[in-house]
């Protein structure tokens, strides 16, 4: 478009009158911006704006010389895009060349979320967390972290923290346009070094890194906290390790009522009582509840059994090294509805340790404490139990499957006594 065509862009066809929407904006002392894919120097931009002012004067407007007119040419669009990590990511995705493996804008992340069939069910606790995250991450060089066992909804909470209200997607205060999502489980090489380069380049935005272990979190925090940085950072991990100096949300189990409301959106054919039982059996883990409900609809005879091996391993170990002895301890505990664990019930722990696990009481106690801290053994009163229930069912089933028939018969008699 030459200068004359830029001027014609303001007028109605074959008329000197301004287009109604253009007139409404300029009468209200607004700004008119012309976007063009041409690369223009300052002289060419001034030529076009001069002609545009002449078009406004021809329409009889008194503000022809003062109207706020701008031309965003290819150079300006490029420079603006290169300021924002979310804009760079969007362009790379449109071109089919992702900036990093699996890197997503918030919009693409929300569409590809495995939980998108469920509307988010808020609570006082999640509302508090979302407000905290928005406040923490609105400014550059801010860092926050969400930790908790797999299946509790960490990724969904992070997604919802940036979701705009319906009808307000373009409001100035919304953060979702600034967000990019990266899953560190893809094994992205030199991620910290790449983000360091973005900080040096002055890229702006909010970076969400999922499956981010503590060591990677610390590396990223150092880069984002650099004086040159215009980024903020949210990391998520299924291992509940504390990152010193970082505002951290420790996600816990959800109330049964919240899980039931979530299930009711999708599983409309399941009776109310059935949904209540599923929510109770999931013991606060939304992902468990979904797996149970799917199994129920598919009439799976083993619907109470946790069949997702990846989820099983994450629940048991997080990022710690696996231990056959520790696995045997929690599997043995899963054989019982509860096991006495305090001093006045120590005979139960001693029996389980010596006769079933065949280890010392001290070793048994040490492993149980580790699992309590990790969150998959629950200590209530004088007793302990494995949670959630589908995990206990799976561990118990695996234990019986590998147990010699003779020992199984003997153990059955023992468990009845205990």
* Phi–psi pair at 123, nearest 5 degrees: -145, 170
Parallel, antiparallel, or unpaired: how do β-strands 104-105 and 179-183 relate? antiparallel
295 in the same domain as 314: no
Classify residue 329 as exposed, middle or buried by CB count within 10 Å of its CB (0-12, 13-18, 19+).
buried
pLDDT cut 70: percent of the chain above it: 96
Last residue of a domain, one of 79, 114, 140: 79
Cα 284 to chain centroid, rounded: 18
Whether residue 388 has a cis bond before it, omega within 30° of 0 = yes
Report the C-alpha gap between 88 and 100 in whole angstroms: 11
Closest by CA to 209, choosing from 144, 113, 114, is: 144
235 in the same domain as 120: yes
Range of the domain at 234: 85-250
- The mean pLDDT of 3-9, rounded to a whole number, is 94
Provide the Cα torsion 405, 409, 412, 417; round to 10°: -150
Higher pLDDT, 1 or 305: 1
112 in the same domain as 235: yes
- 89-138: pLDDT as tens digits: 999 999 999 899 989 999 999 988 766 778 888 899 999 999 999 999 99
Report the C-alpha gap between 236 and 146 in whole angstroms: 5
Q: What is the pLDDT of residue 410?
A: 74
Q: Is the pLDDT of residue 416 over 70?
A: no
Last residue of a domain, one of 60, 79, 98: 79
- 188-200: pLDDT as tens digits: 989 999 999 999 9
100 in the same domain as 59: no
How many domains is the chain built from? Answer: 4
Closest by CA to 376, choosing from 358, 390, 362, is: 390
Q: What is the pLDDT of residue 212?
A: 95
* Mean pLDDT across the chain: 90
| CATH number of the domain residue 323 falls in | 1.10.10
Report the C-alpha gap between 275 and 43 in whole angstroms: 69
* Phi–psi pair at 28, nearest 5 degrees: -90, 10
pTM for the full predicted model:
0.82
- 8-31: pLDDT as tens digits: 999 999 899 999 999 999 999 999
Element (H, E) at 104: strand 104-105
- 233-270: pLDDT as tens digits: 999 999 888 888 899 999 999 999 999 999 998 888 88
195 in the same domain as 228: yes
- The mean pLDDT of 204-225, rounded to a whole number, is 96
Token readout for 164 is 């705009």
- 146-187: pLDDT as tens digits: 999 988 999 999 999 999 877 776 766 789 999 999 999 888
Q: What is the pLDDT of residue 297?
A: 78
Residues 6+ apart with CB under 8 A from 266: 117, 118, 293
157 in the same domain as 217: yes
273 in the same domain as 233: no
Q: How many CB atoms lie within 10 A of CB 285?
A: 27
**243 close to 217: Cβ distance less than 8 angstroms:** yes
Instruction: Say how many Å lie between the first and final Cα of the chain, rounded.
Output: 87
| CATH number of the domain residue 113 falls in | 3.40.50
89 in the same domain as 232: yes
- 265-305: pLDDT as tens digits: 888 888 899 899 999 988 999 988 888 888 887 777 777 77
Q: What is the pLDDT of residue 173?
A: 72
Last residue of a domain, one of 49, 79, 109: 79
Q: How many CB atoms lie within 10 A of CB 219?
A: 16
Beta strands in 159-315 (DSSP E): 179-183, 204-210, 230-237, 248-250
332 in the same domain as 227: no
- 335-352: pLDDT as tens digits: 998 999 988 888 999 989
269 in the same domain as 240: no
Cα 244 to chain centroid, rounded: 21
**59 close to 13: Cβ distance less than 8 angstroms:** no
260 in the same domain as 212: no
Q: What is the pLDDT of residue 381?
A: 85
Q: Is the pLDDT of residue 414 over 90?
A: no
Provide the Cα torsion 184, 190, 195, 197; round to 10°: -170
234 in the same domain as 89: yes
């Amino acid at each position: 478009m030459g200068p004359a065509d830029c001027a014609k862009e303001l007028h109605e066809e074959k008329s000197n009158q301004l287009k109604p929407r253009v007139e409404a904006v300029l009468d209200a002392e607004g700004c008119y911006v012309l976007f063009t894919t041409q690369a223009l120097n300052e002289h060419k931009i001034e030529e076009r704006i001069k002609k545009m002012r002449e078009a406004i004067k021809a329409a009889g407007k008194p503000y022809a010389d003062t109207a706020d007119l701008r031309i965003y040419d290819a150079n300006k669009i490029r420079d603006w895009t290169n300021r924002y990590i979310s804009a760079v990511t969007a362009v790379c995705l449109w071109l089919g060349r992702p900036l990093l493996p699996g890197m997503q804008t918030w919009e693409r992340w929300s569409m590809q979320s495995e939980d998108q069939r469920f509307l988010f069910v808020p609570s006082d606790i999640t509302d508090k967390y979302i407000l905290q995250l928005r406040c923490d991450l609105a400014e550059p060089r801010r860092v926050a972290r969400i930790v908790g066992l797999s299946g509790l909804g960490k990724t969904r909470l992070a997604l919802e923290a940036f979701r705009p209200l319906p009808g307000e997607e373009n409001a100035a205060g919304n953060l979702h346009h600034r967000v990019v999502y990266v899953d560190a489980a893809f094994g992205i090489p030199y991620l910290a070094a790449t983000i360091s380069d973005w900080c040096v380049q002055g890229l702006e935005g909010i970076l969400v890194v999922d499956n981010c272990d503590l060591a990677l979190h610390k590396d990223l925090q150092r880069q984002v906290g650099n004086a040159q940085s215009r980024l903020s950072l949210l990391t998520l991990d299924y291992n509940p390790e504390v990152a010193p100096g970082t505002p951290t949300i420790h996600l816990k189990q959800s109330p049964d009522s919240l899980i039931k409301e979530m299930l009711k959106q999708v599983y409309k054919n399941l009776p109310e009582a059935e949904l209540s039982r599923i929510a109770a059996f999931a013991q606060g883990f939304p992902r468990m509840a979904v797996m149970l409900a799917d199994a129920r609809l598919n009439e799976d005879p083993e619907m109470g059994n946790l069949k997702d091996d990846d989820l099983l391993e994450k629940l048991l170990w997080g990022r710690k090294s696996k231990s056959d002895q520790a696995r045997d301890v929690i599997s043995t505990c899963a054989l019982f509805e509860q096991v006495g664990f305090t001093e006045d019930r120590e005979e139960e722990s001693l029996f389980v340790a010596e006769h079933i696990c065949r280890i010392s009481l001290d070793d048994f106690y040490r492993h149980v404490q580790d699992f309590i801290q990790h969150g998959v053994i629950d200590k209530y009163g004088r007793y302990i139990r494995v949670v959630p229930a589908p995990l206990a069912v799976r561990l118990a089933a695996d234990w019986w499957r590998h147990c010699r028939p003779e020992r199984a018969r003997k153990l059955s008699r023992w468990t009845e006594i205990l």
